[in-house]
Amino acid sequence: MGFATNDDAGIYRLTEDIALVTTADFITPPVNDPYIYGQIAAANAINDVYAMGGRPIACLNLAAFPIKKLHVSVLHQIIAGALSKITESGAVLAGGHTIEDDEPKFGLAVTGLVHPKKFWPNSGARSGDVLILTKPVGSGVIFNAHIKGWVSQRAMEACIVTLTTLNQKAAAILADFEIHAATDVTGFGLAGHAFEMAKGSDVLLEIDMDQVPVMMESLELYEKGVTTGVNRHNRLLVEKSAIFEKGLPRWHEEIVFDPQTSGGMLISVPESQGAAVLKALQAGGVKDACFIGRAKEPKQSLNLIFK
Amino acid sequence: MGFATNDDAGIYRLTEDIALVTTADFITPPVNDPYIYGQIAAANAINDVYAMGGRPIACLNLAAFPIKKLHVSVLHQIIAGALSKITESGAVLAGGHTIEDDEPKFGLAVTGLVHPKKFWPNSGARSGDVLILTKPVGSGVIFNAHIKGWVSQRAMEACIVTLTTLNQKAAAILADFEIHAATDVTGFGLAGHAFEMAKGSDVLLEIDMDQVPVMMESLELYEKGVTTGVNRHNRLLVEKSAIFEKGLPRWHEEIVFDPQTSGGMLISVPESQGAAVLKALQAGGVKDACFIGRAKEPKQSLNLIFK
């Protein structure tokens, strides 16, 4: 695959029925707990393979660690957290690389397998499709506010449960259906990743703001004026191709620009299968999954409408 | 493969005749020129696949970049340098991940292929084998001294030519011979990587200090008292299992602890094939290749003798 559609991972065909999915991702710590940091960083990297419809098989640690400032047991905890998610995914940890650094960074390079004719691009949405999102958004602003003590323990815990969840179940359930396009929502926010899907698919995505699932306290934080360092950039990336129709206050709009780590899958499926897909996801434990909009014929240069 | 022998990369069997080799490596800049930095970092990562007898097929950039301090064209140059080596290796660049950081780091996650019964472990050396090293050592001290202006331009250029050279030719030539063990010499220095080979193979490696190829000016730098931040650590790792028999001055010993980036391959081959292997390497353009010692029966806890 080429780079034109900014897909979540690279695909390399090995044989008639085996293709490799390769992806790498690493992050600075969004939380203080090293084990949870490892879990989130690993889920974030592995989820790129699920976003392509693939199955992760082998992971490498990518670690930068301030060994003079922090005890090595902290690094061990990070790796233990990552290993818990690697093992849950059915993959193995095959090695990795660590360098000394002023500030910790951690992530994985992940190799997965997918059938070369059955992977899910992010660019196959068709007019008439319905859109499903499998996790709520808002983790970016929650992490930022948490540093300042502005997030309740309950909201923080709910956010961590969401982010440490692999998109494995979702991907396994979706494999039984006709998936036109799939991606996972990460750093560019819901708007950015929906924009890539819309542009790559040459459709207009209409997203219903009332339906977008949001994390506990995240909208209230935007209302109070909290934001992230990335929201402005994420808005700039899409604003020429997007409109907000509903006349929402600007702070409310920010939720679609909120950068996600280990976010949910955004999926475009035929309308005829939509209800069955959603029912299967919810019955299979992907309880936050919901419809958030539909794909339509493009209108001039417009790719996104938030209703 | 497991972790017991600290091999250069992970191996994952996909089918009867296809196994994946996965490896990741990233480094801080050893030189100021961003294009050369990219070349060295890429060669350093890709060489781990050659060290297993594999063929690289897909690479991902792993980049950390101070976008507020350096122009983005510097990052482009780094990636262009890496791409030149990826292309030379026959692999493709399939994507990657970049984060903002105070200081640049760059490397690759590399996926390669190898036959599951034909890969080269670092732990298969047998008593009676001869040892070949394909590149000179000394780049660690040269880089350290270069920052202070203590290295001639000629020596620096020779060092860069060596480090930007893939071990591709060497690996292709070696594939025609019976290779008992192979590794590439990197951060732990010749002593560290030879120690891993010796311990994993349960043999004693006898290395002839007069035969070890050294980079121009590197020994002189150690004689003047220059060293690297890693030499002491590399010596500590092996000193209980190694002896220097010749009564060399301590500064001379340091060359085997000099950490390499994109170093040569250390290979253990049957004595009966040694001359043919060396001749083929030199005829094939691996001109620095030379015999540096032999493998013998272990003596108590001793794994390394430097004669």
* Residue B17 contacts A, CB cutoff 8 Å: no
pLDDT at position B3 over 50: no
Closest-CA distance of chain A to residue B24, Å: 6
Q: Strand pairing of A304-306 and A242-244?
A: parallel
What mean pLDDT comes out for the span A176-180?
94
The residue range of the domain holding A236 is 130-306
Q: Do B95 and A24 touch (CB under 8 A)?
A: yes
Residue A196 sits at the chain B interface (C-beta within 8 Å): no
Q: What pLDDT was estimated at residue A33? A: 95
Mutate to test the interface with B, among A6, A20, A113 (most CBs of B within 10 A): A20
Kindly give the pairing relationship between strand B204-207 and strand B290-296.
antiparallel
The yes-or-no verdict on residue A76 having pLDDT over 90 is yes
Same domain, B195 and B105: no
Burial A232-263 (b: 16+ CB within 10 A, else e): eebbebbeebbebeeeeeebbbbbbbbbbbbb
Instruction: Please tell me the distance from the alpha carbon of residue A118 to that of residue B19, in angstroms, as a whole number.
Output: 22
Q: Which residue of B has its CA nearest to A9?
A: B95
What's residue B6's pLDDT?
55
The predicted structure's pLDDT at residue B299: 86
Q: What sign has the CA pseudo-torsion A124, A86, A261, B24? A: negative
Which B residues, 121 through 150, put their C-beta within 8 Å of a C-beta on chain A? Answer: none
Average pLDDT over residues A238-265: 94
The pLDDT of residue A3 = 45
Nearest to B6 by CA among B111, B122, B110: B122
Q: What is the mean pLDDT of residues B4-29?
A: 82
Chain B contact for A25, CB < 8 A? yes
Q: Write the CATH number for B278.
A: 3.90.650.10
Q: Is A175 on the interface with B (CB under 8 A)?
A: no
In angstroms, rounded to a whole number, what is the distance separating the alpha carbons of residues B196 and B212?
18
Residue A184's SS3 state is strand
Q: What is the pLDDT of residues A33-58, one digit of tens each?
A: 999 999 999 999 999 999 999 999 99
Is there a domain that residue B87 lies in?
yes
**Contact list, B15 vs chain A (CB under 8 Å):** 15, 18
| Same-domain check for residues B183 and B222 | yes
**B109/B220 same-domain check:** no
Q: Are strands A55-65 and A92-100 parallel, antiparallel or unpaired?
A: parallel
Residues B108 and B139 in one domain: no
Collect all residues of chain A within an 8 Å Cβ-Cβ radius of residue B187: none
Amino acid at A280: A
The average pLDDT across A284-290 equals: 95
pLDDT of res. A95: 87
What are the chain B neighbours of A113 within 8 Å (beta carbons)? 14
Task: List the CATH number of the domain containing B35.
Answer: 3.30.1330.10
CA distance A234 to A42: 24
- Say if the Cβ atoms of A94 and B15 lie within 8 Å: no
- Note the pLDDT tens digit of each residue in B225-276: 999 999 999 999 999 999 999 789 999 999 999 999 999 999 999 999 999 9
Which of B18, B60, B62 is opposite residue A10, by nearest beta carbon?
A: B60
Q: Is residue B122 part of a domain?
A: no
Region A160-166 average pLDDT: 97
pLDDT of residue A7: 61
Residue B100 at interface with chain A, using a CB cutoff of 8 Å: no
Each residue's pLDDT tens digit, B99-119: 888 889 999 999 999 998 888
Facing A99 at nearest CB: one of B23, B26, B60:
B26
C-beta separation of A117 from B28 below 8 A: no
Residue B125, in any domain of the structure: no
Q: Has residue A4 got a pLDDT over 60?
A: no
Q: Which of B17, B21, B22 to mutate to test the interface with A (most CBs of A within 10 A)?
A: B22
Q: How many whole angstroms separate alpha carbon B30 and alpha carbon A92?
A: 32
How many domains in chain A? Answer: 2
Q: Has residue B123 been placed in a domain?
A: no
Give DSSP secondary structure letters for B174-207.
HTTS--SEEEE--TTHHHHHHHHHHHHHT-EEEE
Q: Can you name the residues that pair with A26 across neighbouring β-strands?
A: A107
At A19, give phi and psi (nearest 5°).
-125, 150
In a shared domain, residues A164 and A256 = yes
Return the structure tokens found at A131.
């859109």
Please give the pLDDT value at position A6.
55
Q: Assess whether A63 and A186 both reside in one domain.
A: no
pTM of the model: 0.85
Instruction: Please identify, among B54, B87, B114, the residue that sits at the C-terminal boundary of a domain.
Output: B114
A280 Cα to chain B: minimum distance (Å): 31
- What count of residues does chain B have? 307
Per-residue model confidence as pLDDT tens digits over B265-307: 999 999 999 999 999 999 999 999 999 999 999 888 899 999 9
* pLDDT for the residue numbered A118: 87
Task: Look up residue A208 and give its two tokens.
Answer: 């219903």
- Does B109 share its domain with B77? yes
**How far is residue B138's CA from residue B213's CA, in Å, rounded to a whole number?**
9
Task: For residue B57, give the chain A residue with the closest CA.
Answer: A12
In a domain, A20, yes or no: yes
Beta bridge partners of B13: B19
Using the 3D structure, point to which of A114, A144, A178 is the last residue of a domain: A114
Determine the distance in angstroms separating the CA of A97 from the nearest CA of chain B, rounded to an integer: 6
Q: Is A113 on the interface with B (CB under 8 A)?
A: yes
pLDDT of residue B166: 97
Contact A22 B64 (CB under 8 A): no
Looking at the fold, whether B60 and B186 belong to one and the same domain comes out as no
Q: Which region, left, alpha or beta, applies to residue B48 given φ > 0 means left and ψ of -120 to 50 means alpha?
A: alpha
Of B114, B148, B171, the residue that ends a domain is: B114
Alpha helices in B64-188 (DSSP H): 72-89, 139-147, 153-163, 168-174
DSSP β-bridge partners for residue A73: none
Q: Find chain B residues with C-beta within 8 A of A11's C-beta.
A: 94
Same domain, A177 and A297: yes
Please, what is the average pLDDT of chain A? Answer: 93
Tell me if A27 and B62 make a contact (CB, 8 A cut-off): no
Kindly state whether residue A145 falls inside one of the protein's structural domains. yes
pLDDT tops 60 at residue B179:
yes
Predicted pLDDT of residue A1: 47
Token representation of residue A301: 């240069």
Helix (H) or strand (E) holding A191: helix A189-201
Specify if A105 maps to a domain.
Answer: yes
Inter-chain contact A20–B58, Cβ cutoff 8 Å? yes
Same-domain status, B278 and B145: yes
Cβ proximity of A281 and A173 under 8 Å: yes
CB contact under 8 A, B57 and A105: no
User: Given this model, what pLDDT does residue A11 score?
Assistant: 83
- Give A-chain residues touching B11 at CB under 8 angstroms: 94
What does the block give as tokens for A71? 């005890």
B3 touches chain A (CB under 8 A): yes
Provide mean pLDDT across the span B156-171: 97
Mean pLDDT (whole number) for B184-201 = 95
- Helix A231-238 to helix A189-201 angle (10° resolution) is 20
In a domain, A1, yes or no: no
Rounded to whole angstroms, the Cα distance separating B305 from B7 reads 22
Residue that the structure tokens 């050659």 belong to: B50
Tell me what percent of the residues of chain B surpass a pLDDT of 90.
86
A138: its two tokens: 């808002």
B56 exposed, middle or buried (CB, 10 Å; 0-12, 13-18, 19+)? buried
Mean pLDDT of all residues in chain B? 93
Nearest CA in chain B to A7: B95
User: What is the reported pLDDT for A299?
Assistant: 85
Q: Which amino acid is at B178?
A: E
- Residue of chain B whose Cα is closest to the Cα of A103: B101
Looking at residue B222, what is its pLDDT? 98
Same-domain status, B20 and B165: no
Alpha-carbon distance A31 to B246, whole Å? 54
Q: Is A230 an 8 Å CB contact of chain B?
A: no
Q: Are residue A219 and residue A290 in the same domain, yes or no? A: yes
Q: Which residues of B touch A96 (CB under 8 A)?
A: 24
Give the per-residue pLDDT at B241: 92
Sign of CA dihedral A154, A261, A86, A18: positive
pLDDT tier, A2 (very low <50, low <70, confident <90, very high otherwise): very low
State the nearest Cα–Cα gap between B292 and chain A, in angstroms. Answer: 28
Task: Judge whether B187 is closer than 8 Å to chain A, CB to CB.
Answer: no
Q: How confident is the model at residue B12 (pLDDT cuts 50, 70, 90)?
A: confident
